[in-house]
A = this chain, B = another copy of it.
C-alpha cells in the first residue's frame, strides 16, 4: 500500500492499464454497445464494471488528466484549465508550464515503490505534467508522447526514439492515429514486460469532429476496441474513463452557437474593464477554435463583482456563474488560478470572448463539438473486472469521478 494525496492504493498484483479515452462521451460507448462496434469494451461493462461517472470541472483535458493521475480534483493539484490569467504578472500562462504540480502523482509514487510505471500521452503538452517524478535523473519510469515520439531519449523519457517508433511513422497530430499510436505503444510495453502500471492518454480529435454513428467514429471505436482486446488478451486489468464528454454546440444549419461573453461585458461595463479567459485554449485550436462551455471572467478595475455576477447570471446561455470562492468550494478548483467569476455555459452553448478572437475558420465548416460545461461532465467509467461488493458498499452513494479510476482498479477490482 502507498498513500497519495490522502488516499491509499494497493500496488498492482497484475498488470494494470488505465486508459483516458479523451472526449469519449458515454454516448459513444452506448452507441457502440447497441450496434456492436466495440465488443471488448461492451464485454468489459457486462462482466466487469460500468457506471456513468463524472469529470472534474471544468470538463477539459488537462485538469482531468492531471486529476486522474493524482486521484484528486484541481483544488489539490492546481491544474484547473489549459490557460490561466496570472494576475500579478498580468499575462496568460499555460498551466502545465507554470511550475511543478502542487501534488504528487500516483504514477510517480508507484514508481518510487518499485512498480514499473509507464505514461504515454497523445499530446506532448500533457506529458510534462504527467511525467513529474516518473522520468529524469534518479527516476526509472517511462513517459513519452505520440506527438514527439521521434524525439524520445532514454534520459528524458526512459525509452529511446528508435524503440518507441519501431519503424512506424510519426502520427499526424490531427489524426486518429495519434491515439492509436499511444495504445499500440501500451500494448508493446505490456508484451515486453517493461511496465506493470500504465496510463495511456488519447486525443479527442475524432470526437471533436464526428458524432456517434459517423463512419469515422465507428472506425476509431473499432480500432480502439482491437487494442483493448489485445491488452485484455495479455491478462491486463483495464480501466477506461474519459477526461470529459462531448456535445454538439451548433445550430440547426451548422453555425456554431456562440455566446460572446467578452463582447457583452464590454458593451455593458465598458471596454477593458473585464477580461474573459477561455481556459480551453491550447495549441490544438483546430479541435475547437478555443470554444468550450467554461470561461473565467477577471475584473480589471473597481467594478462591483456582484453587479457583474448578476449581469452574467441573467444572460441566457449561461447555466451557472459563481464568484471565485464559491467556484472553488463547489467545483473543487484552485483559488490562485480561479477568475473573479467562473461561468459555465448552458448545454449546447459555446462560451467565447469576442468575435474574431476565435479561429472559427479552423473548423473549416464542420459543426462545432466541444466541452467544458456540466453537459460534458458525464463520462464512461469501465473496469474489466468486477468490483468487490464490499468496496462498492463502503463507497455508498458517493459520486464516481474519473479520478477514482486508479483507486477502483487497484483497490476495488476482484
- The interface of chain A, by Cβ under 8 A from chain B, is 25-27, 29-34, 42, 45-46, 49-52, 210-214, 217, 245, 247-248, 250-253, 255, 257-259, 313-320, 346-349, 375, 378, 380
Contact = CB atoms under 8 A, between A and B. Distances in A.
Total copies of this chain within the assembly: 2
A251 B212 contact: yes
Given A26-B319, A33-B315, 6 more contacts: A26-B316, A26-B346, A31-B349, A49-B314, A213-B257, A214-B253
A390 to B, nearest CB: 15
Contacts of A31: 251, 257, 317, 349
A314 B27 contact: no
A93 to B, nearest CB: 30
A285 B319 CA distance: 31
Contact of A50 (B29, B46, B315): B315
A347 B25 contact: yes
Contacts of A212: 251-252, 257, 348
Contact of A317 (B30, B318, B346): B30
A389 to B, nearest CB: 10
B245 A314 contact: no
Main SS of chain A's interface residues?
A: mixed
25 contacts: A25-B348, A26-B346, A26-B347, A27-B346, A30-B257, A30-B259, A30-B316, A31-B257, A31-B317, A32-B316, A34-B259, A45-B316, A49-B314, A50-B314, A50-B316, A52-B318, A52-B346, A211-B252, A212-B251, A212-B348, A213-B251, A214-B253, A245-B347, A248-B248, A316-B380
A259 B32 CA distance: 11
A315 B45 contact: yes
Contacts of A32: 316
A211 B316 CA distance: 17
A83 B348 CA distance: 30
Contacts of A253: 213-214
B347 A27 contact: yes
Nearest to A216: B252
Question: Which interface residue of A316, A319, A347 has the most chain B CB atoms within 10 A?
Answer: A316
A23 to B, nearest CB: 14
Nearest to A213: B251
Which 3 interchain pairs have the tightest Cβ spacing? A213-B251, A30-B317, A214-B252
Contacts of A313: 50-51
Given A27-B349, A316-B26, A34 B213 contact: no
A354 to B, nearest CB: 14
Nearest to A214: B252
A203 B404 CA distance: 43
Contacts of A315: 33, 45, 50
Contacts of A347: 25-27, 245, 247, 375, 378
A257 B27 contact: yes
A213 B254 CA distance: 9
B314 A46 contact: yes
Nearest to A380: B316
